[in-house]
Amino acid sequence: MPAAIEIEGISKQFKLYNEKYTSLKERVIRGGKMPYTPFWALKDVSAEVEQGETFGILGRNGCGKSTLLKCVAGILKPTSGEIRVRGNLAAMLELGAGFQPDLSGRDNIYLNGSLLGLSRADIDRRFDSIVAFAELENFIDNQVKFYSSGMYVRLGFAVAINVEPDVLLVDEVLAVGDSAFQRKCLEQVKQFQREGRTIVVVSHATDTIRQNCSQVMVMSHGQVVTVGEPGEAIRVFLAELLGGTKVINAETGEMEGNVLAISTVTTEHGGSGVRNHLYPGDSLTVTADIDALSPVPDAMVTIAVHDDRNELVFASDPDDPAAAVEIPVGGGLVQFQFPEVPLLDGTYSVSVGIRSNSQPTVFDWKEGVARFEVANPARSTGLVRLPFEVSFRHRSGPLTGEVPVTLGGTNLAGWSEPSL
């Protein structure tokens, strides 16, 4: 099956003008030519996105991510190279792209829909769905120049997804708007995934990329750094983001100029030796075995926990002074100790990283390198176990006695009984 998107050797040059003509005479003298500095936003970028794949793009601001998506969408013409897209394409590339501020939301739906290839009859059929998704029933006839940024992006995203595209391009939109709208967008992305549509997502949120993408491309200064599985690509991105180029080679396992590497990561809990799983409230110890070629007095360690849907449960503060360790030649064991794990039922993965506190270098990052399982013997449900107490008080007076209360088979004493 041919790829949904084929990008072959794309380069894009912009001209940066450092001065302007101040008179007609100057323009004539210079023959109408303005001196400029060439800027290559993209340099020989190649990639393939398979049909039905959700493809993520990570990179710093200005690395060329948005320029690449605009070339794929046909908004920009590349200076060199070729792009082939198979199927109907819809793009949500920037806030309110294509909206006319003096027109109403209703008029902009029809305008944007027609630009995306829908007939008026098609838009008529989908109009109510678009407005409902955007949650703009009370504002749809107002001029969009009076819309908030959240209203802009809701309307733009609602139009784009109702085109029912074969290929959807999304640039940072999932990071805009309130949390409820972000959840709605992510659910729509998952629905598209279930329907086998092709999606390309640009986001700075590594957890969004990790949860939704099967392949991820990391870009830097207009070039491709790597394309691979989300875990490895995110590790490379974090190293690049911190300014470090010294990372562990995933294929050879060799330290490319580094002095530290994580060899193994293991977990041990309060029930180890008796059962394979934790109970809510058990302790947990995560141990990382560190190899060191030379001493590192200023290492910083981090840990992250994800559930079986790849959603982030916990990530330590990378700048927490408590995470600082001094590692001698030969290395040693780093332990993360959790006195109590309040999680309920589920299987959880552990990722561990180590970096320099004084230099922009990531020594190593192991994604999903260990796992643990939590089994809840009680009937409470949800994500976490929250301790709570229950008391009863008459409206007319204070509590004067004690009544032991039993909840879920557990006797909770020490509660006051009203005077009768």
Rounded distance, CA 262 to CA 369, Å? Answer: 10
Q: What is the pLDDT of residue 82?
A: 95
Predicted confidence at residue 94, as pLDDT, reads: 63
The CA distance from 341 to 307, in Å, is 13
User: What are the start-end ranges of the H helices in 213-323?
Assistant: 230-241
Q: How many CA atoms lie within 13 A of 232 on its CB side?
A: 13
pLDDT score recorded for residue 247: 44
First to last CA, the chain: 79
Q: Which amino acid is at 117?
A: G
Q: Which pLDDT value is given to residue 97? A: 60
Closest CA to 218 of 245, 257, 178: 245
pLDDT at position 300: 92
pLDDT digits (tens, 9 = 90+) for 368-417: 889 999 999 888 888 898 888 999 888 876 555 555 444 443 333 333 33
Q: Which residues contact 53 (CB under 8 A, 6 or more apart)?
A: 4, 198, 199, 214, 215
Residue 58 · residue 237 · CB < 8 Å: yes
pLDDT number for residue 21: 61
Q: What is the pLDDT of residues 24-48, one digit of tens each?
A: 666 666 665 677 788 899 999 999 9
* Domains defined along the chain, listed by start: 5-234 (3.40.50.300), 253-374 (2.70.50.60), 388-420 (no CATH)
Contact at 8 Å (CB) between 346 and 374? yes
Tell me: the pLDDT tens digits for 113-160? 887 778 899 999 999 999 998 889 999 999 988 988 778 878 888 888
pLDDT at 318: 82
Write out residues in the chain with pLDDT < 50, as ranges. Answer: 244-251, 253-257, 404-420
What pLDDT score does 79 carry? 95
- pLDDT in the model for residue 417: 36
- Residue 249 pLDDT: 47
State the pTM of this model.
0.63
Three-state DSSP at 169 gives strand
pLDDT score for 387: 85
